[in-house]
């Protein structure tokens, strides 16, 4: 019985989704990646990094990068790029702008997550529920969808990553 119950509680891992062409290693460590002057409407993304059993992972490494509100990446510098580590409760917090889709892509935020130093890196992309471009984006995945709600002068979304630990 116990074993069965444990199995039922297992979470669906966050899907791995391709890195794309715009990743840059060595991003600055910061939670606010929308520097002053970055174009776009305010967005806060927060949540936890969990293992498949739902246990919060403290000090998980996370790296985010994305396009701005015009669908443009900063490939010369590190605008809208940053890495951080989850806190002791496995929580992360990202202050950014809502990205706009470019070419045939739906709006998305790229992320890499490494649960522990010995874990593989999960590379994925997060999408926005209800966006009309999701339907025609070939790498859209409904398991990587965020639900935005109005918050102060912008929006906020909550997303828990379920990351591999080994």
Q: Does 71 bind Fe ion (CB under 5 A)?
A: no
Region from 13-21, 129-137, 141-149, 151-159 binding Fe ion, contact rule CB under 5 A: 13-21
* For Fe ion, the closer CB: 20 or 164: 20
* For Fe ion, the closer CB: 14 or 57: 14
Q: Does 20 bind Fe ion (CB under 5 A)?
A: yes
Q: Does 69 bind Fe ion (CB under 5 A)?
A: no
Region from 15-23, 31-39, 49-57, 158-166 binding Fe ion, contact rule CB under 5 A: 15-23
Q: How far is CA 34 from the centre of its chain?
A: 15
Please give the size of the binding site for Fe ion, defined by CB under 5 A.
Answer: 1
* For Fe ion, the closer CB: 45 or 57: 45
How far apart are the C-alpha atoms of 20 and 3, rounded to whole Å? Answer: 39
Question: Where on the phi/psi map is residue 137: left (φ > 0), alpha (ψ -120 to 50), or beta?
Answer: beta
């Amino acid at each position: 019985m116990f074993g069965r119950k444990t199995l039922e509680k297992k979470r669906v891992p966050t899907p791995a989704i391709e890195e794309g062409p715009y990743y840059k290693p060595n991003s600055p460590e910061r939670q606010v990646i929308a520097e002053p002057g970055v174009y776009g409407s305010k967005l806060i993304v927060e949540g936890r990094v969990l293992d498949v059993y739902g246990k919060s992972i403290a000090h998980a490494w996370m790296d985010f990068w994305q396009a701005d509100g015009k669908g443009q990446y900063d490939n010369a510098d590190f605008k809208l790029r940053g890495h951080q580590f989850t806190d002791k409760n496995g929580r992360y917090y990202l202050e950014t702008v809502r990205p706009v889709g470019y070419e045939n892509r739906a709006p998305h935020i790229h992320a890499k997550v490494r649960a522990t130093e010995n874990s593989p890196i999960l590379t994925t992309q997060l999408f926005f529920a209800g966006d009309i471009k999701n339907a025609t984006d070939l790498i859209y995945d409904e398991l990587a969808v965020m639900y935005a709600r109005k918050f102060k002068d912008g929006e906020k979304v909550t997303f828990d990553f379920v990351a591999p630990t080994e």
